[in-house]
Amino acid sequence: MSVFASPRFLPNVMWADAVSCAATGALQVAFTDALARLTGLPAPLLMGTGVFLLAYAAAAAFMATRRMPPRTLIGLVVAGNFGWAVACVALLMSGLFAVTVLGMAWVLAQALCVVVLAELQWTGLRRTRGSANMALA
């Protein structure tokens, strides 16, 4: 059996999303001022996105605990993750802030992480489509 075909694949990806967002959010909330100095990103942006990431991590963890993951919500998560990546790149390209090299790495790491997660989530949704339809029958 392929790892992608496992019934635990999608919940495991959601757990990875929850953990990565919780860690990033906690860092941004706990060390807002230090990160602002190191990255060149504004403290309110770091704090706001940090709080959002913590709330999102709780929602992702909830989705991961479901026996049948909520497909519609996970579809929204996929779109949101791709949107987050686009926003990260747009932030860097905008030139609005004097982002340091570390700041660029911080933002690009987030973009890369969410693109990988979104692709894995999308793969999990496609692979579980048949089992979701069978569960409804």
**Model confidence pLDDT, tens digit, residues 67-115:** 877 889 999 999 999 999 999 999 999 999 999 999 999 999 999 999 9
Could you tell me the sign of the dihedral formed by the alpha carbons of 82, 84, 88, 91, in that order? positive
Q: Say which amino acid occupies 14.
A: M
36 and 46 in contact (C-beta within 8 Å)? yes
pLDDT score of 131: 55
pLDDT score of 116: 97
Structure-block tokens of residue 21: 């967002």
Could you tell me the sign of the dihedral formed by the alpha carbons of 94, 100, 104, 106, in that order? negative
Of 131, 125, 136, 133, give the one whose Cα is nearest residue 9. 125
What digits encode the pLDDT tens for the residues 27-44?
Answer: 999 999 999 999 999 999
Q: How confident is the model at residue 136 (pLDDT cuts 50, 70, 90)?
A: very low
